């Protein structure tokens, strides 16, 4: 296994924990090391990765396109991240092509399952849900056969999200519950947090806001156990949304403020912007109500 593969495992672990600065520091140190060694292709990859982490996608893609990596299976990561950037930019045909290239660059089953989830996401977003479901199912079979528990959880959750996007919240609940059972069997606190959050989101979509709040509260406990700071930010935002749906502006502001603090603590720029937006909207609503 190459050094890049080890570093990417560590970087993704830091991101899963919500330690975005830690992930950025890994990329910075690796980039500097390859720069000093005069290894331009690997410098380009980590430079592109940093731009991606900073949410500068065009700049990231420019460096990924010049990262012609030579070590065993390393081009997999170039293709995969190009797919991720294309997906986030809404360039779905290019995303599909990049994830297909990633699949052709590895024989590692964990890598395959990860790229297949990205490919299925691209089909889902481009309006091909049937093809997306086929790929998710195939990825799930591979994950279960290879005893890749956390990737099986992720795939089940993605199937559930796809069901939500199709308006099938009842169907989504079944997949989220399957993922939750697997997470608990594995003793995966972070995975349990994600599954509870997904279940609560589906219940919110069905208008069952009080039930959703109970699951969000459970999810907070698991996020704390897993030291999942990013998860805390996500749940605080979702609780704020739920109280908005219940018409409780005061409680909504309370939780969006908690979300803002959590986002700032971990340098989560997207989460910070979301929390600030809803705090502003809710405060202006209170001002108008007071003035009327």
For a pLDDT cut of 90, what percent of the chain falls above it? Answer: 79
Neighbours of 47 (CB within 10 A): 24
For a pLDDT cut of 70, what percent of the chain falls above it? Answer: 99
**pLDDT tens readout for residues 89-133:** 999 999 999 999 999 999 999 999 999 999 999 999 999 988 999
Expressed as residue numbers, the domain containing 259 is 233-292
| Cα→Cα distances 271→82, 107, 227, 230, 290, Å | 23, 35, 17, 9, 29
Q: Does one domain contain both 223 and 237? A: no
Domain-located, residue 5? no
Of 21, 119, 7, 20, nearest to 71 by C-alpha is 7
- Would you say residue 292 has pLDDT above 70? no
Predicted local distance difference test score (pLDDT) of residue 287: 76
Dig out the tokens for 286 from the structure. Answer: 């209170």
* Torsion angle (degrees, nearest 10) of CA 128, 121, 150, 26: 170
Q: Does one domain contain both 160 and 212? A: yes
The domain tally of the chain equals 2
Cβ-contact 95, 134 below 8 angstroms: no
Dig out the tokens for 267 from the structure. Answer: 């340098």
| pTM score | 0.82
Domain-located, residue 84? no
């Amino acid at each position: 296994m190459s050094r890049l593969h080890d570093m990417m495992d560590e970087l993704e672990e830091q991101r899963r924990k919500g330690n975005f600065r830690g992930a950025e520091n890994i990329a910075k140190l690796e980039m500097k090391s390859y720069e000093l060694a005069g290894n331009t292709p690997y410098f380009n990859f980590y430079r592109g990765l940093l731009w991606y982490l900073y949410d500068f996608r065009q700049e990231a893609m420019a460096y990924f396109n010049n990262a012609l990596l030579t070590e065993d299976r390393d081009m997999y990561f170039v293709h995969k991240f190009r797919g991720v950037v294309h997906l986030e930019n809404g360039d779905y045909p290019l995303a599909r092509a990049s994830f297909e290239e990633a699949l052709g660059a590895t024989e590692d089953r964990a890598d395959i399952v990860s790229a297949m989830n990205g490919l299925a996401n691209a089909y889902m977003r481009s309006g091909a849900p049937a093809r997306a479901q086929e790929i998710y199912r195939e990825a799930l079979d591979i994950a279960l056969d290879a005893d890749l528990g956390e990737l099986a959880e992720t795939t089940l959750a993605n199937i559930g999200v796809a069901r939500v996007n199709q308006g099938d919240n009842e169907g989504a609940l079944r997949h989220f519950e399957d993922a939750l059972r697997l997470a608990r069997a594995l003793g995966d606190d972070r995975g349990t947090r994600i599954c509870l959050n997904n279940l609560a989101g589906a219940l919110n979509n069905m208008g069952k806001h009080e039930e959703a709040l109970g699951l969000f509260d459970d999810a907070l406990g698991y996020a704390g156990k897993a030291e999942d700071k990013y998860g805390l930010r996500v749940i605080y935002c979702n609780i704020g949304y739920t109280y908005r749906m219940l018409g409780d502006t005061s409680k909504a502001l309370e939780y969006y403020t908690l979300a803002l603090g959590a986002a700032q603590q971990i340098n989560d720029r997207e989460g910070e912007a979301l929390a600030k937006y809803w705090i502003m909207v809710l405060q202006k609503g209170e001002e108008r109500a007071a003035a009327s």
